[in-house]
Structure 1
Amino acid sequence: MLDHKYLEGDPEAPVLLLLHGTGGAPGDLLGLGRDLSPSSALLAPAGPVSEHGAARWFRRLAEGVFDHEDVVARANQLADFVLTARKRYDLDGRRLVAVGFSNGANIAAAVALLRPDAVREAVLFAAMFPLAENTPVPDLTGTRVFASNGEHDPMAPLPSAEHLTALLRRRGVEVTTYRHGGGHLITPEAEVAAKAWLTRATMNGA
């Protein structure tokens, strides 16, 4: 099982699966999680791949060039972790939302695309398309995604982000996009929009 932190919360609130960016650690997004949903349980694993000592979720061959075979393998590893954690922490039947930034958003997108048994909702900050073009993706009707991207993000270029959202929609995902004028970051306005998205989904009975 992946190294992780777990903080219990209100069983009526969604469980947030917090996925850090490159070089991060399980505690990095705890504050973000509390801001998005103050009463939620927080499940924050550590990326299992080391890139020159920096924790990541999957290997890359160069900046912006992913090892697609490893993406698939690590997405399945993370999905299996989620299913195991559900049993360990008695989370079966509770809503779970993946929240990721950068590399964490990319692995969250990969899990949402490949393993809907583990992740049906995701908040993606600065994600890009993580898979090889020929990767089979199942029908994802019932999955919801919020995707925030910067219009001037050199690390997650907008065309790649738009390719991701287009594929999600083709596979039946309900996608809400948020664009900001900055780069590779989570803006306060994007955080507010993500929180509103979470709240709306809760009110709609997700």
Structure 2
Amino acid sequence: MTDLGFTHVFRPATRPGAPTLLLLHGTGADEYDLLGLGHSLAPGAALLSPRGRVDENGAARWFRRLREGVFDVDDVVARAAELAGFVRAATAAYDLDPASVTAVGFSNGANMAAATLLLHPGLLRRAALFAAAAPLQGRPLPAADLTGVQVFLSAGAADSLTPLEQARLLAEQLRQCSAVVQMHEHPGGHGLPPEALHRARQWFAATTR
């Protein structure tokens, strides 16, 4: 589907009162990549999965980067605004509860989710972020009030693409904005190991009771 400004997939909830998962893929993936993760994290949830609109040598991304590990922060800000507009339009178009939207992102998608949390407070009430970095490099932390927002962060000690220190910095920034952050560190690299998925399922069940 290509309306609402983003190519995307929408799967309605199959369980009454289930949340909506906003699935944000990593670099080079697409709107189908995280559907299985969404089903695993929250069976019966509605799945809203857009495709990043930035093309990096044929690979879909959520925002531009100047080189590996260095983000174009002006583009991060602009793209977060675009995504926020899409989420608002999609919740209206599909008759979804805006308060139930939970972002689930991997790598570049997790970075985009983190930027959206910080730049558009009130849009997302929960987020599960895998292999995420602090997205607003070199910028002052926005005066965002994330009171009541629940965030799960999973990061690998051997991740050469997203250093563990970046995930720790993001966790601290979110806490400074009053979000409740659960940090899970694993010994692996840039991926989503079974233990991280297990911890994320436990976190999701505990925060959606």
Question: What is the TM-score normalised by the length of structure 1?
Answer: 0.96
Report the CA distance between 1:13 and its aligned residue. 1.2
Q: Percent identity?
A: 52
Partner of 2:184: 178
Letter in 2 for 1:195: R
- Contact kept? 1:112, 1:121, Cα under 8 Å: no
Q: Which of the numbers 30, 35, 38 marks the counterpart of 2:40?
A: 35
Partner of 2:159: 153
| Aligned mates of 1:92, 1:202 — CA distance in 2 | 14
Q: Which of the numbers 94, 117, 122 marks the counterpart of 1:117?
A: 122
Partner of 1:100: 105
Q: Which of the numbers 166, 175, 185 marks the counterpart of 1:169?
A: 175
| Aligned mates of 1:59, 1:38 — CA distance in 2 | 33
Runs of 4 or more above 6 Å deviation: none
SS at match of 1:145: strand
Output the aligned Cα RMSD: 1.1
Q: Which of the numbers 44, 54, 59 marks the counterpart of 1:54?
A: 59
Report the CA distance between 1:165 and its aligned residue. 0.5
Alignment coverage as a number of residue pairs:
203
SS at match of 1:82: helix
| Aligned mates of 1:35, 1:61 — CA distance in 2 | 34
Q: Which of the numbers 9, 13, 18 marks the counterpart of 1:5?
A: 9
Q: Which of the numbers 66, 69, 75 marks the counterpart of 1:70?
A: 75
Structure 1 gap segments, 5+ residues each: none
1:189 equivalent to 2:195? Answer yes
Structure 2 gap segments, 5+ residues each: none
- Contact kept? 1:11, 1:94, Cα under 8 Å: no
